[in-house]
Amino acid sequence: MNGRVLIIAGSDSGGGAGIQADLKTVTALNGFAMTALTALTAQNTLGVHAIHDVPEDFITQQIEVVLADLGADAIKIGMLHRASVIHAVADVLQRLAPDTPLVLDPVMMAKGGHALLEPDAMTAMKERLIPMAALVTPNVPEAEALTGLKISSVEDFPKVAKAIGAKAVLVKGGHMDGDVLTDVLWQAGDVQRFEGPRIDTPHTHGTGCTLASAIACGLAQGLDMAAAVERGRAYVLQAIKTAPGYGQGHGPLNHAHTFSK
Ligand SMILES: Nc1ncnc2c1ncn2[C@@H]1O[C@H](COP(=O)(O)OP(=O)(O)OP(=O)(O)O)[C@@H](O)[C@H]1O
Ligand SMILES: [Mg+2]
Protein backbone atom coordinates (compact mmCIF):
# COMPACT_ATOMS: atom_id res chain seq x y z
CA MET A 1 0.00 0.00 0.00
CA ASN A 2 1.20 3.49 -0.74
CA GLY A 3 -0.17 7.01 -1.13
CA ARG A 4 -2.04 8.79 1.66
CA VAL A 5 -5.14 10.63 0.43
CA LEU A 6 -7.19 12.98 2.60
CA ILE A 7 -10.73 13.23 1.24
CA ILE A 8 -12.86 16.24 2.18
CA ALA A 9 -16.41 15.52 1.01
CA GLY A 10 -19.97 14.58 1.88
CA SER A 11 -21.43 11.19 2.77
CA ASP A 12 -23.71 9.31 0.36
CA SER A 13 -25.71 6.82 2.40
CA GLY A 14 -26.33 4.84 -0.78
CA GLY A 15 -22.63 4.05 -1.00
CA GLY A 16 -22.27 4.99 -4.67
CA ALA A 17 -20.89 8.52 -4.59
CA GLY A 18 -19.34 10.95 -2.09
CA ILE A 19 -17.04 9.79 0.69
CA GLN A 20 -18.12 6.19 0.26
CA ALA A 21 -17.06 6.13 -3.41
CA ASP A 22 -13.85 7.98 -2.50
CA LEU A 23 -12.87 5.48 0.23
CA LYS A 24 -13.60 2.49 -1.99
CA THR A 25 -11.66 3.97 -4.91
CA VAL A 26 -8.51 4.84 -2.98
CA THR A 27 -8.57 1.43 -1.27
CA ALA A 28 -9.08 -0.42 -4.56
CA LEU A 29 -6.09 1.43 -6.01
CA ASN A 30 -3.92 0.40 -3.08
CA GLY A 31 -3.81 3.82 -1.41
CA PHE A 32 -4.61 4.85 2.17
CA ALA A 33 -7.75 6.98 2.52
CA MET A 34 -8.59 9.41 5.32
CA THR A 35 -11.67 11.60 5.52
CA ALA A 36 -13.11 14.89 6.71
CA LEU A 37 -16.91 14.79 6.36
CA THR A 38 -18.54 18.04 5.25
CA ALA A 39 -22.19 16.97 5.13
CA LEU A 40 -24.35 13.87 5.49
CA THR A 41 -26.89 13.09 2.80
CA ALA A 42 -29.85 10.73 3.05
CA GLN A 43 -29.40 9.45 -0.48
CA ASN A 44 -30.08 6.46 -2.67
CA THR A 45 -29.91 5.78 -6.40
CA LEU A 46 -33.13 7.79 -6.89
CA GLY A 47 -31.81 11.02 -5.43
CA VAL A 48 -30.77 13.15 -2.45
CA HIS A 49 -33.63 13.11 0.08
CA ALA A 50 -32.08 15.32 2.78
CA ILE A 51 -28.82 17.02 3.72
CA HIS A 52 -27.47 17.40 7.24
CA ASP A 53 -24.59 19.86 7.51
CA VAL A 54 -21.46 19.29 9.57
CA PRO A 55 -20.43 22.45 11.53
CA GLU A 56 -17.43 24.32 10.03
CA ASP A 57 -15.27 24.08 13.13
CA PHE A 58 -15.71 20.32 13.21
CA ILE A 59 -14.76 20.04 9.52
CA THR A 60 -11.62 22.05 10.30
CA GLN A 61 -10.84 19.87 13.31
CA GLN A 62 -11.06 16.64 11.29
CA ILE A 63 -8.56 18.05 8.79
CA GLU A 64 -6.23 19.38 11.51
CA VAL A 65 -5.96 16.18 13.51
CA VAL A 66 -5.48 13.98 10.45
CA LEU A 67 -2.79 16.17 8.91
CA ALA A 68 -0.99 16.67 12.24
CA ASP A 69 -0.71 12.94 12.90
CA LEU A 70 -0.98 10.84 9.72
CA GLY A 71 -0.13 13.40 7.02
CA ALA A 72 -1.29 13.33 3.39
CA ASP A 73 0.40 12.96 -0.02
CA ALA A 74 -2.66 14.32 -1.87
CA ILE A 75 -6.00 15.88 -0.97
CA LYS A 76 -9.32 15.44 -2.74
CA ILE A 77 -12.18 17.87 -2.24
CA GLY A 78 -15.74 16.93 -3.17
CA MET A 79 -19.06 18.33 -1.91
CA LEU A 80 -18.61 21.49 0.17
CA HIS A 81 -22.16 22.88 -0.06
CA ARG A 82 -21.84 26.30 1.65
CA ALA A 83 -19.58 29.35 1.26
CA SER A 84 -18.69 29.26 4.96
CA VAL A 85 -17.45 25.67 4.58
CA ILE A 86 -15.35 26.60 1.54
CA HIS A 87 -13.69 29.41 3.49
CA ALA A 88 -13.03 27.14 6.48
CA VAL A 89 -11.48 24.42 4.29
CA ALA A 90 -9.38 26.91 2.30
CA ASP A 91 -8.13 28.48 5.56
CA VAL A 92 -7.01 25.22 7.15
CA LEU A 93 -5.40 23.86 3.96
CA GLN A 94 -3.53 27.11 3.37
CA ARG A 95 -2.23 26.88 6.92
CA LEU A 96 -1.36 23.18 7.14
CA ALA A 97 -0.98 21.76 3.60
CA PRO A 98 -0.09 24.55 1.18
CA ASP A 99 2.20 22.28 -0.89
CA THR A 100 0.12 19.08 -0.95
CA PRO A 101 -1.42 18.44 -4.39
CA LEU A 102 -5.13 19.20 -4.28
CA VAL A 103 -7.73 17.70 -6.63
CA LEU A 104 -10.89 19.82 -6.55
CA ASP A 105 -14.08 18.23 -7.87
CA PRO A 106 -16.40 21.28 -8.08
CA VAL A 107 -19.56 19.31 -7.29
CA MET A 108 -22.67 21.41 -7.90
CA MET A 109 -25.43 18.95 -8.68
CA ALA A 110 -26.20 15.31 -7.86
CA LYS A 111 -26.89 13.01 -10.80
CA GLY A 112 -30.61 13.17 -9.94
CA GLY A 113 -30.56 17.00 -10.25
CA HIS A 114 -30.41 17.98 -6.55
CA ALA A 115 -28.37 21.20 -6.03
CA LEU A 116 -25.31 20.49 -3.86
CA LEU A 117 -23.77 23.96 -3.91
CA GLU A 118 -25.49 27.09 -2.62
CA PRO A 119 -25.31 30.07 -5.03
CA ASP A 120 -22.89 32.27 -3.02
CA ALA A 121 -20.61 29.27 -2.60
CA MET A 122 -19.68 29.46 -6.29
CA THR A 123 -17.88 32.78 -5.77
CA ALA A 124 -16.03 31.42 -2.75
CA MET A 125 -14.95 28.37 -4.71
CA LYS A 126 -13.61 30.52 -7.55
CA GLU A 127 -11.77 32.91 -5.26
CA ARG A 128 -10.40 30.53 -2.64
CA LEU A 129 -10.10 26.93 -3.83
CA ILE A 130 -9.56 27.04 -7.58
CA PRO A 131 -6.28 28.99 -7.22
CA MET A 132 -5.00 26.38 -4.70
CA ALA A 133 -5.87 23.33 -6.80
CA ALA A 134 -3.36 21.18 -8.70
CA LEU A 135 -6.35 19.96 -10.74
CA VAL A 136 -10.03 20.97 -11.05
CA THR A 137 -12.39 18.33 -12.53
CA PRO A 138 -15.66 19.96 -13.71
CA ASN A 139 -18.27 18.17 -15.80
CA VAL A 140 -19.75 20.17 -18.67
CA PRO A 141 -22.52 22.00 -16.73
CA GLU A 142 -20.02 22.84 -13.95
CA ALA A 143 -17.44 24.16 -16.44
CA GLU A 144 -20.16 26.36 -17.98
CA ALA A 145 -21.34 27.62 -14.59
CA LEU A 146 -17.80 28.44 -13.44
CA THR A 147 -16.98 30.44 -16.58
CA GLY A 148 -20.28 31.69 -17.99
CA LEU A 149 -19.17 30.17 -21.32
CA LYS A 150 -21.27 27.77 -23.40
CA ILE A 151 -19.97 24.36 -24.44
CA SER A 152 -21.46 22.93 -27.63
CA SER A 153 -18.78 20.38 -28.51
CA VAL A 154 -15.53 18.85 -27.27
CA GLU A 155 -13.68 21.46 -29.36
CA ASP A 156 -14.85 24.05 -26.79
CA PHE A 157 -13.31 22.19 -23.82
CA PRO A 158 -9.78 23.73 -23.95
CA LYS A 159 -10.88 27.38 -23.98
CA VAL A 160 -13.38 26.79 -21.18
CA ALA A 161 -10.73 24.87 -19.22
CA LYS A 162 -8.35 27.81 -19.58
CA ALA A 163 -11.03 30.30 -18.48
CA ILE A 164 -11.49 28.43 -15.19
CA GLY A 165 -8.12 29.86 -14.19
CA ALA A 166 -6.56 26.85 -12.44
CA LYS A 167 -3.11 25.28 -12.90
CA ALA A 168 -4.73 22.27 -14.55
CA VAL A 169 -8.32 21.40 -15.47
CA LEU A 170 -9.91 18.14 -16.62
CA VAL A 171 -13.20 18.87 -18.40
CA LYS A 172 -15.21 15.62 -18.34
CA GLY A 173 -17.37 14.64 -21.27
CA GLY A 174 -19.87 12.39 -19.48
CA HIS A 175 -22.71 14.85 -20.18
CA MET A 176 -22.07 15.09 -23.95
CA ASP A 177 -23.58 12.78 -26.59
CA GLY A 178 -21.97 10.26 -28.89
CA ASP A 179 -20.40 6.81 -28.74
CA VAL A 180 -16.98 8.20 -27.87
CA LEU A 181 -16.55 9.85 -24.48
CA THR A 182 -13.82 12.48 -24.47
CA ASP A 183 -12.24 14.15 -21.44
CA VAL A 184 -9.79 17.01 -22.02
CA LEU A 185 -6.85 17.74 -19.71
CA TRP A 186 -5.61 21.33 -19.91
CA GLN A 187 -2.31 22.04 -18.14
CA ALA A 188 -0.92 25.54 -18.48
CA GLY A 189 -1.81 25.68 -22.17
CA ASP A 190 -0.90 22.06 -22.94
CA VAL A 191 -3.98 20.14 -24.14
CA GLN A 192 -4.39 16.37 -23.99
CA ARG A 193 -7.49 14.44 -25.11
CA PHE A 194 -8.53 11.16 -23.50
CA GLU A 195 -11.03 9.12 -25.49
CA GLY A 196 -12.89 5.95 -24.63
CA PRO A 197 -16.16 4.18 -25.33
CA ARG A 198 -19.36 5.60 -23.83
CA ILE A 199 -21.20 2.75 -22.09
CA ASP A 200 -24.97 2.90 -22.51
CA THR A 201 -26.08 2.34 -18.91
CA PRO A 202 -28.06 4.01 -16.09
CA HIS A 203 -25.38 2.83 -13.60
CA THR A 204 -23.14 5.88 -13.47
CA HIS A 205 -23.83 7.15 -9.94
CA GLY A 206 -20.60 8.56 -8.54
CA THR A 207 -18.46 8.47 -11.68
CA GLY A 208 -17.21 12.01 -11.01
CA CYS A 209 -16.31 11.38 -7.35
CA THR A 210 -14.65 8.12 -8.30
CA LEU A 211 -12.55 9.65 -11.07
CA ALA A 212 -11.36 12.57 -8.93
CA SER A 213 -10.38 10.25 -6.07
CA ALA A 214 -8.59 7.87 -8.43
CA ILE A 215 -6.59 10.82 -9.81
CA ALA A 216 -5.77 12.09 -6.30
CA CYS A 217 -4.61 8.59 -5.38
CA GLY A 218 -2.39 8.46 -8.47
CA LEU A 219 -0.80 11.80 -7.56
CA ALA A 220 -0.28 10.56 -3.99
CA GLN A 221 1.50 7.51 -5.42
CA GLY A 222 3.85 9.64 -7.53
CA LEU A 223 2.19 9.37 -10.95
CA ASP A 224 2.33 12.52 -13.07
CA MET A 225 -0.95 14.27 -13.88
CA ALA A 226 -1.55 12.64 -17.29
CA ALA A 227 -0.73 9.16 -15.99
CA ALA A 228 -3.02 9.66 -12.98
CA VAL A 229 -5.86 10.73 -15.30
CA GLU A 230 -5.24 7.79 -17.65
CA ARG A 231 -5.28 5.23 -14.84
CA GLY A 232 -8.30 6.91 -13.21
CA ARG A 233 -10.34 6.77 -16.42
CA ALA A 234 -9.49 3.09 -16.93
CA TYR A 235 -10.51 2.33 -13.34
CA VAL A 236 -13.86 4.15 -13.74
CA LEU A 237 -14.59 2.49 -17.09
CA GLN A 238 -14.10 -1.00 -15.67
CA ALA A 239 -16.19 -0.05 -12.60
CA ILE A 240 -19.06 1.00 -14.92
CA LYS A 241 -18.72 -2.13 -17.07
CA THR A 242 -19.02 -4.40 -14.00
CA ALA A 243 -21.66 -2.34 -12.10
CA PRO A 244 -23.80 -4.55 -9.84
CA GLY A 245 -27.15 -3.13 -11.01
CA TYR A 246 -28.44 -2.21 -7.54
CA GLY A 247 -31.25 0.33 -7.01
CA GLN A 248 -34.01 1.69 -9.19
CA GLY A 249 -32.32 4.90 -10.35
CA HIS A 250 -28.73 5.86 -11.21
CA GLY A 251 -27.07 2.71 -9.86
CA PRO A 252 -23.62 2.49 -8.25
CA LEU A 253 -20.36 1.29 -9.82
CA ASN A 254 -18.32 -1.77 -8.92
CA HIS A 255 -15.46 -0.15 -7.06
CA ALA A 256 -14.07 -3.56 -6.07
CA HIS A 257 -13.19 -4.75 -9.57
CA THR A 258 -9.45 -4.59 -8.86
CA PHE A 259 -9.87 -7.26 -6.14
CA SER A 260 -11.27 -9.90 -8.47
CA LYS A 261 -8.17 -10.04 -10.66
N1 LIG B 1 -21.50 6.30 -19.78
C2 LIG B 1 -20.18 6.32 -19.56
N3 LIG B 1 -19.37 5.47 -20.23
C4 LIG B 1 -18.02 5.49 -20.01
N5 LIG B 1 -17.42 6.32 -19.14
C6 LIG B 1 -18.18 7.17 -18.45
C7 LIG B 1 -19.61 7.23 -18.62
N8 LIG B 1 -20.11 8.19 -17.81
C9 LIG B 1 -19.05 8.70 -17.15
N10 LIG B 1 -17.89 8.10 -17.54
C11 LIG B 1 -16.53 8.37 -17.02
O12 LIG B 1 -16.68 9.01 -15.77
C13 LIG B 1 -16.08 10.29 -15.80
C14 LIG B 1 -16.91 11.31 -15.05
O15 LIG B 1 -18.15 11.40 -15.66
P16 LIG B 1 -19.10 12.67 -15.73
O17 LIG B 1 -18.70 13.58 -16.81
O18 LIG B 1 -20.47 12.08 -15.80
O19 LIG B 1 -18.80 13.36 -14.33
P20 LIG B 1 -19.82 13.95 -13.29
O21 LIG B 1 -20.98 14.54 -14.01
O22 LIG B 1 -19.04 14.84 -12.41
O23 LIG B 1 -20.30 12.68 -12.51
P24 LIG B 1 -21.20 12.73 -11.18
O25 LIG B 1 -22.60 12.93 -11.62
O26 LIG B 1 -20.94 11.38 -10.57
O27 LIG B 1 -20.73 13.85 -10.34
C28 LIG B 1 -15.93 10.63 -17.26
O29 LIG B 1 -14.85 11.42 -17.45
C30 LIG B 1 -15.71 9.28 -17.89
O31 LIG B 1 -14.35 8.92 -17.80
MG1 LIG C 1 -19.55 15.39 -10.49
Q: What is the pTM of this model?
A: 0.97
Q: How far is CA 113 from CA 15, 109, 120, 199, in A?
A: 18, 6, 19, 21
Burial class for 3, CB neighbours closer than 10 Å (0-12, 13-18, 19+): buried
Per-residue pLDDT tens over the stretch 203-219: 999 999 999 999 999 99
Per-residue pLDDT tens over the stretch 239-248: 999 999 999 9
Residue-level pLDDT at 108: 87
Residue-level pLDDT at 1: 76
Cα separation, 197 vs 179, in Å, equals: 6
Rounding to the nearest 10 degrees, give the CA dihedral for residues 194, 195, 200, 205.
0
**Are 54 and 81 in contact, with CB atoms under 8 Å apart?**
no
The structural domains of the chain, ordered by start, are 4-260 (3.40.1190.20)
Pairing of strands 74-77, 47-53: unpaired
In the chain, what percentage of residues exceed pLDDT 70? 98
**Are 121 and 80 in contact, with CB atoms under 8 Å apart?**
yes
Q: What is the distance in A from the centroid of ligand 2 to the CA of 34?
A: 20
Confidence of residue 16 (pLDDT cuts 50, 70, 90): very high
Q: What is the distance in A from the centroid of ligand 1 to the CA of 170?
A: 12
Per-residue pLDDT tens over the stretch 70-107: 999 999 999 998 999 999 999 999 999 999 999 999 99
Residue-level pLDDT at 260: 82
Residue-level pLDDT at 261: 61
- Ligand 1 pocket test, pick from 20, 80, 109, 172 with the greatest ligand atom count within 8 Å of Cβ, gives 172
- Ligand 1 pocket test, pick from 207, 213, 236, 254 with the greatest ligand atom count within 8 Å of Cβ, gives 207
Q: Which ligand is located closest to the Cα atom of residue 215?
A: 1
N-terminal to C-terminal alpha carbon distance within the chain:
17
Task: Please tell me the total number of residues recorded for the chain in this structure.
Answer: 261
Per-residue pLDDT averaged across 236-240, rounded?
98
Per-residue pLDDT averaged across 154-168, rounded?
98
Residue 145 neighbours by CB under 8 Å, 6+ apart: 108, 122
Residue-level pLDDT at 120: 86
Among candidate residues 100, 204, 210, 251, the one labeled active-site is 204
Is 209 catalytic? The answer is: yes
